[in-house]
């Protein structure tokens, strides 16, 4: 697996960590199209996501341009399988946990804080501007070297914006949630736009859109039971 391809896979994983709305949803299947723009160059990929709330497995079947399968679980175990080469790349970190992604937040009613409270953030201020609720979240001491605060904006109780400020107070990332759709027992933003500001004035723009959302009995697929072959070769 080429390093550039692997990096792009992990970037998409991080996108989903930015933090579907309520109980009653056991499994979800949906299509994802993502574009990344930097220095006038664009990269895109298509994938199908399969999530089960029972065991917390999130399976991402990449369709184009890669033909890989990525599996994460609630313990932060990440594997990327290349069926053509029968190889598997493994990593483990809490940032990869299936409980730290968009699917989990919206399915389990964590749209109020996008998982910040579970990370130790404390809500220190709430303001109301017309129909918007603007809240400020400050990090625990263990994350103080990364963030000074995070700002969330809600409209009709659903997140529409998140702003991330580094330890010096500079805005380093903006995330917009839009095009909400209501499904049985589920409210989901069908588009996420993320701006990452890099040192020196450069930036990376990520756009993620979802479609073909299927829930519970309609979300039938053998991919929910996918297992990486035992004879797959582990690579670094």
Average pLDDT of span 19-31: 68
Q: In terms of pTM, does the model score above 0.75?
A: yes
pLDDT of residue 56: 81
Mean local confidence (pLDDT), 15-29 = 57
pLDDT at residue number 191: 94
* Residue 84 scores a pLDDT above 50: yes
DSSP code string of 127-163: EEETTEEEEEEE--GGGTTT-SEEEEEEETTEEEEEE
Mean pLDDT of the chain: 84
**CB-based burial of residue 127 (10 Å sphere; 0-12 exposed, 13-18 middle, 19+ buried)?**
exposed
Characterise 115 by phi-psi region: left (phi > 0), alpha (psi -120 to 50), beta (else): left
Q: Distances in Å between the alpha carbon of 84 and those of 81, 96, 226? A: 9, 24, 16
pLDDT digits (tens, 9 = 90+) for 154-202: 999 899 999 999 999 999 999 999 999 988 777 889 999 999 998 888 8
Strands 87-92, 233-235: pairing is parallel
Residue 63: left if φ>0, alpha if ψ -120 to 50, beta else—which one?
A: alpha
- Residue 39, domain extent: 3-235
Mean pLDDT along residues 25-36: 90
Q: How many domains does the chain have?
A: 1
Question: What was the pLDDT predicted at 101?
Answer: 63
Give the tens place of pLDDT for each residue, 92-149.
876 666 566 666 677 667 788 888 888 899 999 999 998 999 999 999 999 999 999 9
Cβ atoms of 13 and 194 within 8 Å: the answer is no
Q: Are 154 and 133 in contact (CB under 8 A)?
A: yes
What is the spatial distance between Cα 135 and Cα 116, in angstroms, rounded to a whole number?
12
Regarding predicted confidence, which is higher, 185 or 152?
Answer: 152
> Residue 15 and residue 13: Cα distance in Å, rounded?
5
pLDDT band, very low/low/confident/very high, at 48 (cuts 50, 70, 90): very high
Cα 11 to Cα 5: distance, rounded to the nearest angstrom: 10
Mean pLDDT of 199-216: 90
Separation CA 132–CA 11 (nearest Å): 30
What lies within 8 Å, CB to CB, of 108 at 6+ separation is 23, 53
CATH number at residue 222: 2.50.20.10
């Amino acid at each position: 697996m080429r390093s550039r391809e692997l990096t792009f896979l992990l970037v998409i994983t991080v996108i989903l960590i930015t933090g579907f709305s309520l109980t009653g949803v056991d499994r979800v299947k949906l299509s994802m199209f993502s574009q990344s723009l930097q220095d006038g160059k664009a990269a895109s990929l298509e994938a199908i996501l399969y999530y089960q709330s029972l065991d917390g497995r999130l399976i991402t079947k990449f369709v184009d341009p890669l033909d890989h399968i990525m599996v994460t679980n609630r313990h932060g175990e990440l594997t990327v399988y290349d069926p053509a080469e029968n190889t598997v790349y493994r990593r483990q970190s809490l940032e990869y946990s299936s409980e730290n992604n968009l699917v989990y937040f919206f399915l389990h009613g964590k749209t109020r804080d996008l998982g910040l409270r579970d990370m130790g953030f404390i809500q220190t201020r709430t303001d109301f501007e017309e129909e918007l609720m603007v809240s400020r979240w400050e990090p625990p001491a263990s994350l103080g070297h990364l963030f000074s605060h995070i700002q969330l904006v809600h409209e009709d109780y659903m997140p529409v914006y998140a702003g991330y400020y580094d330890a010096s107070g500079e805005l380093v990332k903006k995330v917009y949630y839009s095009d909400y759709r209501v499904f049985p027992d589920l409210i989901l933003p069908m588009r996420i736009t993320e701006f990452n500001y890099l040192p020196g004035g450069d930036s990376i723009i990520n756009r993620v859109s979802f479609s073909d959302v299927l829930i519970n009995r309609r979300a039938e697929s053998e991919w929910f039971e996918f297992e990486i072959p035992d004879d797959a070769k582990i690579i670094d």
